[in-house]
Amino acid sequence: MRPLKTLQKLYDEESQVVITEKGSPPRALFYGENFLLEDLPVGTRVIFPRPPLAGVPNVKAAIRWAINHPEDMEPLHALLRPGMRLTCVIDDISVPLPPMATPDVRQSILEVVLELCADSGVDDVHLVIANALHRRMTEGEMRRMVGQKIYDAYYPDRYYNHDAEDPDGMVELERTPCGTHVVAVNRRVAESDLVVYVNVNFVPMNGGHKSMGTGVTNYAGLRAHHNPKTIRSSESYMEPSRSELYRRNERVGKAIDKHLKVFHIETSLNNRMFGPGVDFLHKKEEDYTEGDRLKLHGMRYALGKLPRAAARKVLNSIPAPYDVTGVFAGATEPTHAKTLEKSWQQYVVPVQGQSDIVIFPIPFISPYSVNSVLNPLLVQVMALGYFFNLNRGVPLVKKGGVIILTHPAFDEFDPVQHPSYIEFFNRVLPETRDAMEIEQKYEKEFAENPSYVHLYRKGNAYHGVHPLYMWYWGENGRQHVGKVICAGAENNHVPALLGWDRTDTLTEAIEEARGFMGRSASISLLRIAPTVMVDVK
């Protein structure tokens, strides 16, 4: 008889993988602003997210403990000097998804840090949102992120979005001899005696050197790693040791650490993405109660009857009741190593072998569409950029295999947040889908377009170059797979422009994929959301 410890380990490792049998229930799959309820072929491997880890019992106590016992640095209180210039750099609204229920963990961290600053005579404090080339956060979003009290005290003079296009707002720290690679950061950050980075680690690719190397730099700085060549060389974005993207960020981050004193505070969250009322979405369908089934059907009916914009509004208005599972502080690398460990503990599910066909259900939200529309380019980046990379080193889908995604692929863009995406989709993609060619021919033009620069700086738009980054982001997925099928696409032209096939239903998509890979092709479903990562053995 196996010892209890081994049995426990087996249970932990295997329980998130279910092989579909004849009597298996249909699966509830995200399909944009609604759900599909689909029977999958017998033998399909369904990979479920791990149940949420327990949160720390007292978040503020955990924050205090972390900043008093940091990794490879002195405690925060020992770094503070009266009259010094301090800047808190904060992760933006792209994490976590959906936005977490208030108080946001960033608010909790800032409440502790700012109180400590005040007690230590540090009054020259600015809060800078590390939005890089992401859109500026709105006043309402900024208020929600840090709470009314901090907002009232700091906004707008001392609490603001980073502006990567401010000609006087950037400082170049280093430049390679050939001048192609630049390490540049926000001027206020560069001229601070101490920088405190407030991080939310939603997935393992967040945090570490990426925080400063990406968050407060400009287009010239990002070019070092946001390019198709780097993406093609990255085996997984989620595992630093196999990510060229992270390696390049690391080089930039180390240069920043050489010039600036940065105290990182990183936090890991659990998987509790859905609150009361919709928490059945955490469960395997096998474990649904009658009530859960009723709720799912009711939700599908209601969302189906609502106009898409209203359904989106409803879904966006449900905050995620994430719990904080760990707070780590100190120098960049040792702090991030601890965060990664915790993050993997929550997300990683071991699985045996790759699959010929992998199904990704695409939800209504992405890091770049909070309070906006998941446009076709973002659907692309969710499938080929993020979900394809939710692994430790080896992708779930075999080389040359098929990815099936479930999304209506509607031709809808938000002109406020994504104006340059519209031009990219309608002008560039009909001409070429080759990321290298796109970089050569169009990147500079989109990056420098004065209208897009203006909309980024003064409006709430993503930078002109951002749609190109979204296309690059999908590059290693595109290079790896043999075919992508969009199941349930409501039109022909969006999948065609993205270089995909389309079918009306998931069943037809599986049939087509089997036609491509053979009748005995293995199938896996990554049952997202909540977040799940695979460790393919």
Partner 1 sequence: MPAAKAAFYDVDGTLVKTNVVHVYAYYAMNRGSILGIAGRTLATAASVPLFAAMDALDRKTFNEFFYRYYAGLSEDRLVAIAEDMFEDVLKPALYEQTRDLIDQARRAGCRIVLVTGALDFSMRPLARYLGADDMIANKMQFVGGKANGKVIPPIIEGANKANAIRSYCVREGLALEQCHGYSDSASDYAMLSVVGRPTAVNPDMRLRSIARAYNWPILDLK
Q: For residues 26 and 415, which CB has a smaller minimum distance to partner 1 in the complex?
A: 415
Decide whether 163 or 285 has the Cβ nearer to partner 1.
Answer: 163
Cβ at position 432, least distance to partner 1 in Å:
17
To the nearest whole angstrom, how small is the minimum distance from the Cβ of residue 467 to partner 1? 13
What are 60's two structure tokens? 């503020």
Compute, in degrees rounded to 10, the torsion defined by CA atoms 136, 140, 146, 149.
Answer: 130
Choose between 161 and 201: whose C-beta lies nearer to partner 1: 161
CB 326 within 8 A of CB 105: no
Q: 3-state DSSP call for residue 501? A: strand
Q: How far is the CB of 189 from partner 1 (least distance, A)?
A: 22
How near is the Cβ of 86 to partner 1 at its closest, in Å?
Answer: 29
The strand ranges marked E within 150-225 are 159-161, 170-175, 182-186, 194-198
Closest approach, Cβ 532 to partner 1, in A, equals: 36
Q: Which of 31/442 has CB closer to partner 1?
A: 442
Q: What is the DSSP letter of 342?
A: H
Sign of the alpha-carbon torsion through 116, 118, 120, 124: positive
Nearer to partner 1, 102 or 426 (CB): 426
N residues, the chain: 537
Assigned token pair, 281: 């979405």
Quick one: which of 115, 155, 120 has its CA closest to 138?
Answer: 155
Nearer to partner 1, 339 or 449 (CB): 449
Least separation in angstroms between CB 52 and partner 1: 42
Q: Kindly state the smallest distance separating residue 427's Cβ from partner 1, in Å.
A: 9
Name which of 324 and 470 has its Cβ closer to partner 1. 470
- Between 85 and 308, whose beta carbon lies closer to partner 1? 308
Query: Are the C-beta atoms of residues 350 and 532 closer than 8 Å to each other?
Result: no
Please say which residue, 165 or 356, places its beta carbon nearer to partner 1. Answer: 165
Q: Half-sphere exposure (CA, 13 Å, Cβ side) for 528?
A: 28
Give Rg (Cα) of the chain: 23
Amino acid of residue 264: H
CB of 297 to partner 1, least distance (A): 37
Question: What order do you get walking across the sheet with 159-161 strand by strand?
Answer: 159-161, 124-130, 85-91, 194-198, 262-269, 324-330
Q: How far is the CB of 453 from partner 1 (least distance, A)?
A: 5
Task: Report in angstroms how near the CB of residue 457 gets to partner 1 at its nearest.
Answer: 7
DSSP letters along 67-131, please?
A: HHS-BSS--HHHH--TT-EEEEEEE-TTSSSSPBPSSPHHHHHHHHHHHHHHHTT--EEEEEEE-
Residues that bind partner 1 (CB under 8 A): 165, 167, 413, 415, 419-420, 422-423, 426, 444-445, 448-455, 457-459
CB of 450 to partner 1, least distance (A): 4
| CA-closest candidate to residue 470, choices 390, 370, 366, 391 | 366
**Shortest approach of partner 1 to residue 446 CB, angstroms?**
11
> φ, ψ for residue 41 (rounded to 5)?
-60, 145
Both tokens assigned to 266: 């990183």
| Rounded CA separation 214/410 (Å) | 31
**Nearest residue (CB) to partner 1, 149 versus 444:** 444
**What is the 3-state composition of the chain as percent helix, strand, coil, each rounded to the nearest 5?**
40, 20, 40
Which residue is it, tokens 């808190």?
88
Three-class SS of residue 63? helix
Nearer to partner 1, 154 or 425 (CB): 425
Closer residue to partner 1 in complex, CB, 283/457: 457
What is the C-alpha separation between 354 and 306, in angstroms, rounded? Answer: 38
Q: Nearest distance from residue 167's CB to partner 1, in Å?
A: 7
SS3 readout for 31-49: ECCEEEEECCCCCCEEECC
The contacts of residue 365 (CB under 8 Å, 6+ apart) are 97, 98, 315, 316, 374
Asked if 89 and 146 touch (Cβ cutoff 8 Å), the reply is no
Closest to partner 1 by CB, 244 vs 445, is 445
